[in-house]
Amino acid sequence: MALSFPDYILSISPYSPGKPIEELEREYGIKNSIKLASNENPLGASPMAMDAIKKNLKKINRYPDGSGYYLTEKLSKKLDVSPRNIVLGNGSDDVIGMLTRVLLSSGDDAIMTKPSFLMYEILVKASGSIPVFVPLIDLGIDLDIIKKNITSKTRMIFITNPNNPTGSIITEQEFKKFLESIPPEIVVVVDEAYIEFNKDPNCLNSINYISNSSNVVTLRTFSKAYGLAGLRVGYGVMSEEIAGLLNRVRQPFNVNSLALTAAFSALDDQDFLTKTNNLIQDGLKYLYNALDVLGIKYFPTQANFFLIDLKKDANTIFEKMLQHGVIIRSMASYGYPEYIRINVGLQEENARFIDTLKKVI
């Protein structure tokens, strides 16, 4: 008898992570390439986190603290929430997986924008539920359109703020009005992976709603601003009720010991966070000005990345840039065939991007 597999699993397109830089360099015969495609911190990792890792290397024969006690306690003080409101994850997508497993059932709907973070769709489908896609309007999330798509089957809504891949934001006022107008049994997941880069005082901070709203969940990560993408550590902030349910399915050692100690120390490294934000803001100004001179349209951002409209085939530009050792992200698969996305790099990387772009266009 042949094996059979659930249709909802077969419907999932596997996540495509791309090839390592070393393999791309080998294939294209290039050296000293730069990567501006994955929204990573160009400064590397927090020095305090690196020191903590070195000091704890000799302890990796021991299992990590399954509760993440010290990191959870520090986060609770920083965010002014109870430790019982926090669930740690092997990256924030681990927390998304727990949310979909616990809160969604077969046939339920989960609303998300298209495009958005691919793992929303994958993990919703993996639970046997149905992703409902709504379009972006002027590269932003329109909460009114989301509300119009709510039905009796809607159980979850995903909102990314600042949004990826567009860098747009939702304001506090917009979100408050939206939350008051939807059924309270719908869980609203606000992914704030890039919140540390935001400079708009009107931007939503969804953690402000945790104490008064049982249906709001905030996701955050140490991958971006703190430079710990390779360690995979994120967290969710939510009601004690939802957190208690997630902890029923959370793997006991889902965050490794080096990730825990690095994240704990990174929270104290305000100098690194300030240096990172200064670099990003200076880099954005330089890149905006350079693109203005070239007459190329771009879209200002509240994140560490932004979109550029080249009015040319994005996949072709991607390949040509890659041949010069500059790795960017084509937005063709996101539904924007003439757009690319880049993250801010070091100043010499930003300048190299602009010089290479001049050559290939």
Contacts of 69 by beta carbon, 8 Å cutoff, 6+ apart: none
Instruction: Find residue 342's DSSP bridge partners.
Output: 306
Q: How far apart are CA 344 and CA 280, in angstroms?
A: 6
13: confidence class by pLDDT, cuts 50, 70, 90: confident
What predicted TM-score, i.e. pTM, was given to this entire model?
Answer: 0.94
How many structural domains is the chain composed of? 2
Residue 240, in any domain of the structure:
yes
Cβ burial of 46 (10 Å; 0-12, 13-18, 19+) is: buried
Same domain, 282 and 256: no
Same domain, 85 and 212: yes
Q: Is the pLDDT of residue 17 over 90?
A: no
Q: Is the pLDDT of residue 2 over 90?
A: no
Would you state the pLDDT for residue 213? 74
Task: Please identify, among 266, 294, 328, the residue that sits at the C-terminal boundary of a domain.
Answer: 266
The CA–CA distances, whole Å, from 123 to 90, 118, 231 equal 15, 9, 21
Same domain, 230 and 103: yes
Cis peptide before 115 (omega within 30 of 0): yes
Q: How far apart are CA 301 and CA 342, in angstroms?
A: 11
1: confidence class by pLDDT, cuts 50, 70, 90: low
User: DSSP for 243-294?
Assistant: HHHHHHHS-TT-S-HHHHHHHHHHTT-HHHHHHHHHHHHHHHHHHHHHHHHH
Would you state the pLDDT for residue 5? 74
- Mean pLDDT score of the chain, rounded to an integer? 94
235: left (phi over 0), alpha (psi -120 to 50) or beta: beta
Same domain, 291 and 218: no
Residue 9, in any domain of the structure:
no
pLDDT digit string, tens, across residues 21-48? 787 778 778 788 999 999 999 999 999 9
User: DSSP for 7-32?
Assistant: HHHHTPPPP-----HHHHHHHHT--S
Same domain, 154 and 230: yes
Same domain, 282 and 237: no
| 157 residue type, one letter | I
CB 338 within 8 A of CB 321: no
Same domain, 150 and 23: no
Would you state the pLDDT for residue 20? 75
Instruction: Find residue 159's DSSP bridge partners.
Output: 190
Residue 10, in any domain of the structure:
no
Same domain, 35 and 141: no
CB 260 within 8 A of CB 232: no
Contacts of 120 by beta carbon, 8 Å cutoff, 6+ apart: 96, 110, 112, 131, 158
Same domain, 245 and 275: no
DSSP label of 239: -
Residue 50, in any domain of the structure:
no
CA 341 to chain CA mean position, Å: 14
Residue with tokens 């495509």: 16
pLDDT digit string, tens, across residues 161-196? 999 999 999 999 999 999 999 999 999 999 999 999
Contacts of 348 by beta carbon, 8 Å cutoff, 6+ apart: none
Q: Is the pLDDT of residue 352 over 80?
A: yes
Write the CATH number for 129: 3.40.640.10
The CA–CA distances, whole Å, from 321 to 36, 162, 315, 334, 340 equal 11, 27, 10, 19, 11
Strand 234-237 versus strand 326-327 pairing type: unpaired
Task: Please identify, among 204, 232, 266, the residue that sits at the C-terminal boundary of a domain.
Answer: 266
Cis peptide before 6 (omega within 30 of 0): no
Same domain, 38 and 71: no
Q: How far apart are CA 287 and CA 200, in angstroms?
A: 19
Residue 335, in any domain of the structure:
yes
Residue 159, in any domain of the structure:
yes
Same domain, 243 and 317: no
Same domain, 206 and 288: no
Residue 149, in any domain of the structure:
yes
Write the CATH number for 344: 3.90.1150.10
Of 12-21, 103-112, 293-302, where does mean pLDDT reach its minimum?
12-21
Range of the domain at 140: 56-266
Give the helix, strand, coil percentages of the chain, each rounded to 5: 45, 15, 40
Q: How far apart are CA 197 and CA 301, in angstroms?
A: 9
pLDDT digit string, tens, across residues 226-245? 999 999 999 999 999 999 99
Would you state the pLDDT for residue 19? 67
Residue with tokens 């909102």: 159
Q: How far apart are CA 273 and CA 275, in angstroms?
A: 5
Contacts of 32 by beta carbon, 8 Å cutoff, 6+ apart: 325
CB 216 within 8 A of CB 209: yes
Q: How far apart are CA 228 and CA 41, in angstroms?
A: 8
